[in-house]
A and B are shown apart, each in its own frame.
Chain A
Amino acid sequence: MPSLKEYKAKLASLANTRKMTKTMKMVAASKLYRTMDAQRKALHYAEKLSEMLGRLAASVDHRAHPLLQKPAETKRSLVLVVMSDKGMCGGFNNNLIKHLSRWMHMPQQQEKNFRFSFAGRRGWLFFRNRVAVEKHYEGITQRPGPSDALHIGTDLRQAFLGGAVDEVYIAYNHFINPLSQRPVIRKLLPIEPQSIAVGARQIQDNYILEPKQAELLATLLPKIVDFEVYFALLENAAGENGARMTAMDSATSNASKMIRTYTLLRNRARQASITKELIEIVSGAEALKG
């Protein structure tokens, strides 16, 4: 049986652990709210963007744009993997890794040649020695901004338009609520024509258009790609913090449980030592009486 002193040390370290996990949980919660706020604002922009696109697409043939062109054969795919930079968030990253590995080995993917870009250290650390790495964007998944998405989006578009790859996918965790996230893999490029909701409301004749309608549309189409990337980054950040919150909550309650158990054990050890000392005193006195 461990000594009283060992129990005390163990209890002190458990109390420290609990304090840490509790703090991490609270930090994750506040980051989660900030990210959810950013998501709400982003959706507002998306609404306006798709409305504008729909109106411009209504009277111009948008199918001709290079970002919508399906290559003759799809042999080379680029996948952008969005994951967190840090661990300590339960199965958040592992779920996506598993999902992605399964997806890559599905029969319809056998013929394809995959390359990967990473946003977030965790995915990169896992895959760097397993697959062909195109690029690793560091330090953006904690607080993603529109300019980060622009940077990544431009790289992806250039790879597609330059003919280096035939299609581009994005893999990330869809944020359902703080308790659950679902890994998803979506095609980013070429843009599916039906994803542009052609608006019923056309642009009236008296509008001044500068430059021409087709060129305006060409300015806005890449914005969809950038926005998808931005939103995936936000979903990932929200999911990461949600998952961390949940993981740290259970870690805190586990620590509390252990503290209770160890307090009992410590008290028992202390009582045992007191009893032992009493027995020694009593038996010593008995011996003196002789």
Chain B
Amino acid sequence: MSTFAFSILSPSGKAFEGRTSSVMLPGASGGFGILSGHAPMIAAVQPGLATVRTEEGERFFYTGEGVVEVTREAVVLLVDESKALENPSDSKDLVAERTRKTGAR
């Protein structure tokens, strides 16, 4: 299966950098996936769970708000916070915490 270069960039550094065969991202208007050879795109993402499929298996990240840029060469996810997760369901708590901190007040 063909792979592409993917990185997650946040103020605290690169949460992920490497080759992946697919990523699933929480888009602003619904989740979407990116496969190798995707058309160039800039899309907004909302806080949620990003799933990255690598050769070693699936990896999960909580990502904040930001944008993802897809070019022919690479895919870069630019978000304001990110955290590697063991358990994908943890992302729900982190999203809830974020809403509590930034939500309607």
Contacts and interface: CB of A to CB of B under 8 A. Distances in A.
Interface in A126-159: 145-147, 149-151, 154, 158
Closest 6 CB pairs of A and B: A41-B13, A208-B41, A210-B43, A154-B102, A146-B11, A146-B81
Contacts, number: 93
A36 interface: no
Contacts of A44: 9, 13-14
B80 A146 contact: yes
Given A45-B78, A146-B81, A150-B101, A216 B11 contact: no
- Kindly state the interface size class of chain B when it binds its partner: 20 to 34
B65 A206 contact: no
B28 A150 contact: no
Given A48-B9, A210-B28, A147 B98 contact: yes
Contacts of B90: none
Nearest to B32: A210
Interface stretch (A7-15, A190-198, A222-230, A269-277): A222-230
Contacts of B64: 146-147, 150
Interface string A219-244: 11001001100100000000000000
A203 B42 contact: yes
Contacts of A154: 101-102
Nearest to B44: A219
B40 A149 contact: no
A208 B11 contact: no
